[in-house]
């Protein structure tokens, strides 16, 4: 379930990265991609109808859904619940939002992706300081990677940080990083939080 590939280059990159991993596995016969659907413009209101169509086309049976973000994943989970399939289909998301973490803690989503804003801010400030001084950013401990700019059709330098996979075992990492509070994550699902050691 791609999101916004019609309007957002980040979404194009997310889909490209997923396909670079999944399509070779399909070629090797290790999995079968039943559908690749796009939630146009990241419009979460279109996510459930788009997934319902894909699920119907798949004969009502899927083993997993890679969703481009937690909002799309939540819409997918809503459809799965209506079909009695929630918790039996592996659903992934991205962004480590409240709904995504709650879905993970309740067993409806297997993982999300966390991009720690504090690490991003630290990298940006180091980069800005180095550039304002006319210094090489590597002197500030930053690693620069070649990155293809699709709009300018050129190669640029980028600081690429490693995102973190969040599962039930490490939901606490998002809280420890200060991205969300335990109260936000646990609202309405305190038993699931307690079971995961979050209070």
Task: State the DSSP code for 189.
Answer: -
**Sign of the four-CA dihedral 9, 14, 15, 16:** positive
Characterize the bridge pairing of strands 90-92 and 64-66: parallel
Q: What is the pLDDT of residue 37?
A: 94
Nearest to 22 by CA among 5, 40, 34, 6: 34
pTM score? 0.90
Average model confidence (pLDDT) for the chain? 94
What domains lie within the chain, and their CATH numbers?
A: 2-115+164-195 (3.40.50.2300), 117-158 (no CATH)
Taking the C-alpha atoms of residue 89 and residue 26, their distance in angstroms, rounded to an integer, is 19
Q: 131-161, pLDDT tens digit by residue?
A: 999 999 999 999 999 988 877 889 998 899 9
């Amino acid at each position: 379930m791609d999101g916004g590939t019609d309007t957002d280059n980040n979404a194009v990159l997310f889909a490209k990265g997923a396909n670079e991993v999944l399509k070779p596995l399909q070629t090797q016969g290790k999995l079968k991609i039943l559908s690749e659907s796009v939630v146009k413009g990241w419009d979460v209101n279109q996510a459930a109808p788009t997934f319902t169509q894909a699920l119907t086309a798949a004969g009502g049976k899927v083993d997993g859904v890679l969703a481009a973000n937690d909002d799309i994943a939540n819409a997918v989970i809503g459809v799965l619940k209506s079909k009695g399939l929630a918790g039996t289909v592996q659903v992934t998301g991205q962004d480590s939002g409240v709904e995504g973490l709650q879905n993970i803690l309740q067993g409806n989503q297997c993982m999300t992706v966390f991009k720690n804003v504090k690490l991003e801010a630290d990298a940006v400030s180091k980069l800005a300081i180095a550039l304002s001084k006319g210094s090489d950013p590597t002197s500030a401990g930053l690693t620069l990677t070649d990155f293809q700019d699709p709009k300018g059709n050129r190669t640029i330098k980028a600081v690429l940080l490693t995102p973190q996979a969040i599962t039930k075992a490490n939901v606490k990492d998002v809280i420890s990083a200060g991205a969300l509070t335990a109260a936000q994550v646990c609202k309405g699902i305190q038993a699931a939080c307690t079971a995961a050691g979050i209070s």
